[in-house]
Amino acid sequence: MKSKTAKEILAESLLEVAETNQIDKITIRDIVDNCGYGKM
């Protein structure tokens, strides 16, 4: 089984955040916090 790339994880996170927030109000921080990524 292939592991997901960072791009795929962030895209899925965006879709999840978009279910509860207006698309024009979503920030990068919202997406990153939702998927559990931290500062690198």
The CA-CA-CA angle for residues 20, 22, 26, to 5°, reads 90
pLDDT of residue 7: 94
Q: How far is residue 3's CA from residue 28's CA, in Å, rounded to a whole number?
A: 23
pLDDT of residue 40: 59
Residue 18: band (very low, low, confident or very high) from pLDDT cuts 50, 70, 90: very high
pLDDT at 15 over 70: yes
pLDDT of residue 39: 62
Task: State pLDDT tens for residues 22-40.
Answer: 999 999 999 999 998 766 5
pLDDT of residue 2: 83
From residue 32, give the alpha-carbon distance in Å to each of 1, 3, 6, 9: 24, 18, 11, 9
Do residues 26 and 14 lie in contact, with contact meaning Cβ atoms separated by under 8 Å? yes
